[in-house]
Structure 1
Amino acid sequence: MSSTPSSPLSRLAWLVAPALALLNACAMPGAPTPAPLVGSEWQLEDLGGRGVLDRVQATLAFPEAGRVAGNGSCNRFFGTYTLMQDRISLGPMGGTRMACDEAVSDQEARYMAALQKAQRLEVQGTTMLMHVQGQDKPLRFTRTNP
């Protein structure tokens, strides 16, 4: 009975298989993975349990991979984001600087500060929840485009 030397491919399989098993074990079962965000647009419905002003639209859009834009409540904004599974991080934002009513400016400041502290997303149908560092309740958005 002669033993045949193992091929490089089978040796590679023996090396890769444990690594894949470890990665699979580290995945969080049941953790919601956001639907593809590119091309989606969302309207803010709740600002961490504080509601939003009537007739004032705060929005968030993902026009292309790595890019975010929207309306803060009064001013338009744009910036970058990174997404790994359900973890999100938004980069510095740029935007317009129009004068706004004090209540609208206050909402916009709270919204923009929350976006900078975003940590995790959950998309459930037409609802997106954005969990924010330091806030007990997430931002809640409703999808505005199909």
Structure 2
Amino acid sequence: MMIRLSIQNTKVAPTVFHAYTSQGVEQEKAKGPALQNLDIVEKQLTGKKFFSGETFGFLDLAFGWIANYLGIFEETGGIKLLDRERFPLILEWKENFSDIPEIKENWPDREKLITKFRLMREYYISMTAAKFTIS
């Protein structure tokens, strides 16, 4: 189970990133695969505080980007992926993960991340637009 879920993380991140770096109709289309992959993650948290049960483990670190970066992607990308109705377990896990002292004390500065990811998204969108104008 741990290996399967770890492999799933390699599918979640690219689909979320694609939705984040898209806009308009393309972004709406890209949300589908991202949400489907997040559904799989949600199911793995059924009855658990962390991916391995009641204790923090390797998979929590592997999926830790969801706890910090996904909210920033949503804010800077104008996209909503994690709603409380569809993903209550991920959101609860996110709070549990964020409350771990070693995690909480080492989060990068949120405002710097917002600035960085806003610029990064603009770059990806401009590169996509350039591909279509050059072709």
> Max radius of gyration: which structure?
1
How does the TM-score come out when normalised to structure 1? 0.23
Q: Which has the higher helix share?
A: 2
Q: Which has the higher strand share?
A: 1
